[in-house]
Amino acid sequence: MNYRNKLIELPQNRVWRSYQGGCVLDELIGKDDPGDSHFPEDWIASVTAASNPDSESETEGISKVRIDGQELLFNDLIALDPDYFLGAEHVARFGQQPMVLVKLLDSAVRLQLQVHPTAGFAKTHLDSNSGKAEAYYILGIREDVEEAFVYLGFQRPPTRAELRRCIEEQDIKTMEGFFDKIEVKPGDVLFIPGGVPHAIGGGLFMVEIMEPSDLVVRFEFERAGYTLPESARFMNRGLDFCLDIFDFEARPESVVRDENMFEPVLEETYGETAHRYHLIGEETTPCFQVKKSVIKGVVERREDTFFTGVITAGSCVLRTDDAVIELDTYGKFFCPAGLGDYTIEAQQEVQILECFPPA
C-alpha cells in the first residue's frame, strides 16, 4: 500500500450524539431523503472514540480512510508510519495521537447546557492527557432560524449552591437566565476554554476544532424529546465532583466578543491572489492552531507539520507528484507532516480552514 506523497481525502464519519441535526450533512453526500437524526456530526481525521451511552462499538468516532483500494481506520494508518504522518517531534511529545479533533457539526436544536474540563483538571482527576477546549468556525445558519446564537460563559453567574439546586431540580428556565444569547453569523470564530459553560444554538452549521476527547458534563438532561441516561450526564462521577469543573466568573457579552471571538490576521501572502490568515494560536490556547487560506490561481506549499483541511467555500485541486484530489465546498483532507511539496489550484477563489496541532 502506497500512502506516501499523497494528500488524504476524508469521507464522512458520522457519529451518534444526544441531540439532533445532520440534515446538511445528509445533503452533502446526496442522500435521497435528507433529514435530521441523532447523527449530526462528521468527525474528521479522528483517532478519538466517541463516548456514547449503550454503544457496543469501540471504534465509533474513529475515521476510516481508503488508500489504494484498502479501507482502514485512521489510527491504523498513522501506526504504519507515525513519523511520516505526524512528524518525529510530535510523536516524541505525544505519541501517535494528533492532539486535535476536527468536526463538521449541524445542529437542528439547541444543544444541552454543558461544560468540559480543562486539560489540567483532566490530567489530575480524569486520567486523560486532554481536556476539551474547543473553537467554532461558523459556516452557515438555517433559513428558518430567527436567532443564531451560542451561550458562552455565565453572564449572570449563580453561586455553586444555586447551580447545584438548578441541576438537581432541572430548573432550565433559571439556568438559561444565567446566560445571554451571543449572536453569531457565518465567518465568526469563537474559542471556548475548558471550564466555561456553554451551548450551541439550533440551526448552526460549523467546523468545530477541539482537544481530542469526548469529556463532557451535560447539566441539562432532557432536550428535544431525548433524556440523557445518568451515565451521559456527569462522566460517571457525582455532581459535586463535576461542579469543580465550572468557571463561575462573570463573562459579559462585551468580554466574550473581546476575548473569545477573533478576526482573521494576515500571516502570509503568495502573490496577489493567495493569502493565509491566522485565526487561533498560542496567544489563545496551547491546544491547537487554526488558520484560513484564501486562494485563487496556483500556489505551491510545503508544511513543517501536519494539518486537517476543510474547504469552506469554493473548490480546488490538490496535487502532488503521485496523486490528484478534487474537492468541492465542505470537502476534507489530511496533509501528512512528511508530505513535502504540494500544489493548490483554484480557478475561482477557494477558502480552506486549516487545523493544526499544538505548536
- Tell me the pLDDT tens digit for each residue of 198-256: 999 999 999 999 999 999 999 999 998 999 999 899 998 999 999 999 999 999 999 99
How far apart, in Å, are the Cα atoms of 319 and each of 12, 342, 343? 21, 6, 5
pLDDT in tens, 5-41: 999 999 999 999 999 999 999 999 999 999 999 999 9
At 311-327, the pLDDT tens digits run 999 999 999 998 999 99
Asked if 296 and 344 touch (Cβ cutoff 8 Å), the reply is no
Q: Which residues pair with 226 in a beta bridge?
A: 223
Residue type for position 61: G
Task: Please tell me the chain's helix, strand, coil percentages from 3-state DSSP, rounded to the nearest 5.
Answer: 15, 35, 50
H-run or E-run covering 247: none
For 137-146, b/e burial (b = at least 16 CB within 10 A) is bbbbbbeeee
pTM listed for this prediction: 0.96
C-alpha cell at 230: 445518568
Report pLDDT digits (tens) over 269-313. Answer: 988 899 999 999 999 999 999 999 999 999 999 999 999 999 999
Amino acid making up residue 245: I
Mean pLDDT of the chain: 96
The confidence score (pLDDT) of residue 271 equals 83
Confidence category of residue 58, pLDDT binned at 50, 70, 90? confident
Rounded to 5 degrees, what angle do the CA atoms 7, 12, 14 make? 140
Residues in the chain, total: 359
pLDDT classification of 264: cutoffs 50, 70, 90: very high
Q: What is the pLDDT of residue 299?
A: 95
Beta bridge partners of 101: 210
- CA distance readout (Å), 229 to 59, 197, 221: 21, 20, 8
Using DSSP, state whether 234 is helix, strand or coil. coil
Q: How many CA atoms lie within 13 A of 312 on its CB side?
A: 26
CA dist 315 and 186 (Å) reads: 18
pLDDT of amino acid 47: 96
Map grid coordinates 438559561 to a residue. 176
Half-sphere exposure of 15 (CA within 13 A, CB side): 27
> How many alpha carbons fall within 13 Å on the CB side of residue 146?
0
pLDDT at 55 > cutoff 80: no
Q: Which pLDDT value is given to residue 68?
A: 87
Question: 336 pLDDT band (50/70/90 cuts)?
Answer: very high
Question: What is the three-class DSSP state of 26?
Answer: helix
Give me the DSSP letters along 121-135: HHHHHSS-S----EE
Query: What are 335's three cell numbers?
Result: 496533509
Instruction: List the one residue out of 134, 4, 130, 15 whose CA is nearest residue 64.
Output: 15
Phi then psi for residue 193, to 5 deg, are: -70, 160
Cβ-Cβ contacts under 8 Å for 130 (sequence gap 6 or more): 99, 119, 122, 211, 212, 213, 215, 287
Determine the pLDDT at residue 53.
Answer: 78
Terminal CA-to-CA distance of the chain, rounded, Å?
31
Closest CA to 287 of 149, 133, 123, 163: 133
Over residues 51-70, the mean pLDDT reads 87
